[in-house]
Amino acid sequence: MTRSLRIALAAVLAISAAVTTAAAQTYPNRPIRMFVGFPPGGSADIVARLVANALSIRLGQPIVIENRGGAGGNLAAAEVARLTPDGYTLMHGPDNLFLANPHIYGSKMPLDPLTDLVPVASLAANQLILGVHPAVKADTMQEFTELARKTNPPLFYASIGNGSMHHMAMEMLKQHLKFDLVHVPYRGGGPAGAALLAGDIQAMFGGGSLVPTITSGRVRALATSGAKRSPLLPNLPTIGEIYPGYEVLIWHGMFAPVGVPQPILDRLRKEITEVLKQPDLAERLTKSGSGEPYFTTPEEFAARVRGDNEKFGKVIRTLGIKIE
C-alpha cells in the first residue's frame, strides 16, 4: 500500500468515526420503530409494549410498535435485518426465532438470525409449569416419573403445537428422565389447557395461564422448568432441583440489525437495564403471565442465544421437525 493510499484510508476512517460519534451523541433524535413478529395481544406483544413505553420515556422519543406476524417471527426479522443499522429499527426477539426456527425452517429461512441480528439486551424470562390432570396418580415429580416409566401404553401429553417450546420442553424431559409419553399437539394454549381439564390428555407444560387452574385444584402442578423457583408458585420445586441438568427458559430480548454503532448499542443497553429495574414494570410483567425481568450482560445474553440454538437444535433434529 502506498503512502498516499494509507493517508487517504486513514482520513476515511477518521471521518467515519467522527460521523458515528456524532450520531451516537445525538441519538435518538426521531421516533424508533420496534418490530414484533406476532399479532397484538400475545406474550411477545405485551413484553414489547411494556418495555417500549418505559424506554421511550427514558430516551425522549416515541417507540412505535409494528406487528408483523407470520412464520414464527421470520417475516419481521427479515425486514429488520435488511434495514439501516442506525438504532432506529429494533426488534422484539422471541426465543423461538433463534433456537427453533433455523432448524425447523432450514433452507426456507429468509435470514440467519444468529449473524444478521445483534443482541441488544435481554428483556424478560418465563418458565413452564408441568401440570397433570387430578386423576393422574402422582402427587410429586418423582411419582410422575415412576408412573410414566411403567405405564404401557404411554400417557398422553398436550402441547400448543409442533415445535413449540411446550413441545420441546417435554421431549427434552423424556430424554432426560428416560420415559415415554405420546404427544398430542393442539392449536394454542386454550385448546391444550381445555384438553387437560377434560382429562383427554394426562399432562402438559403450560405458562402462567395454568396458575388459576392449579390454585382451583382442577390441575395438579408437579414442578417448573426454570433454574429457580417461579414467583407465581414459590412452593413448587424446579425439575432441576430433583433431576439436575434440566432447564427450559422462555426468554424475550431486544435485537437490532448488525452494524449498529457500538455507542448506540451501549446507550440502549444502559437504558433498558434501568427500565427493567422499575418495580411497576416487573409487577405488570408478572401479572400478565409474561414472566419477570431478565438481567444479563451482553456476553451472557449472546451466550444464551447461541447455547439455546445448539441445545434445542439437537432436540429438533431428533424429532425430525421440519416446515414442509
Are 122 and 265 in the same domain? yes
Are 101 and 115 in the same domain? yes
Are 134 and 173 in the same domain? yes
Give every CB contact of residue 240 below 8 A, 6+ residues apart in sequence: 226, 227, 246, 247
Are 136 and 203 in the same domain? yes
Does residue 289 come out as left (phi exceeding 0), alpha (psi in the -120 to 50 range) or beta? left
Residue 195's pLDDT band (boundaries 50, 70, 90)? very high
Asked if residue 281 belongs to a domain, the reply is: yes
Asked if residue 179 belongs to a domain, the reply is: yes
Give this prediction's pTM: 0.84
Asked if residue 324 belongs to a domain, the reply is: no
Asked if residue 25 belongs to a domain, the reply is: yes
Residue 14's pLDDT band (boundaries 50, 70, 90)? very low
Q: End of a domain among 242, 263, 287?
A: 242
The CATH number assigned to the domain holding 153 equals 3.40.190.10
The CATH number assigned to the domain holding 67 equals 3.40.190.150
Nearest partner of 87 among 215, 262, 304, judged by Cα? 262
The one-letter code for the residue type at 128 is L
Residue 299 has pLDDT above 90, yes or no: yes
Give the tens place of pLDDT for each residue, 301-324.
Answer: 999 999 999 999 999 998 898 876
Residue 12 has pLDDT above 50, yes or no: no
Are 156 and 304 in the same domain? no
- When pLDDT is averaged across residues 214-237 and rounded to a whole number, the result is 94
Are 146 and 214 in the same domain? yes
CA distances from 93 to 67, 121, 148, 158 (A): 12, 10, 35, 25
The one-letter code for the residue type at 320 is G
Give the tens place of pLDDT for each residue, 58-105.
Answer: 999 999 999 998 888 999 999 999 999 999 999 999 899 999 999 999
Containing domain of residue 233, as a range? 129-242
Residue 188's pLDDT band (boundaries 50, 70, 90)? confident
Give the tens place of pLDDT for each residue, 139-155.
Answer: 999 999 999 999 999 99
With vertex at residue 256, the alpha carbon angle to CA 89 and CA 117, rounded to the nearest 5 degrees, is 135
Could you give the number of structural domains in the chain?
2
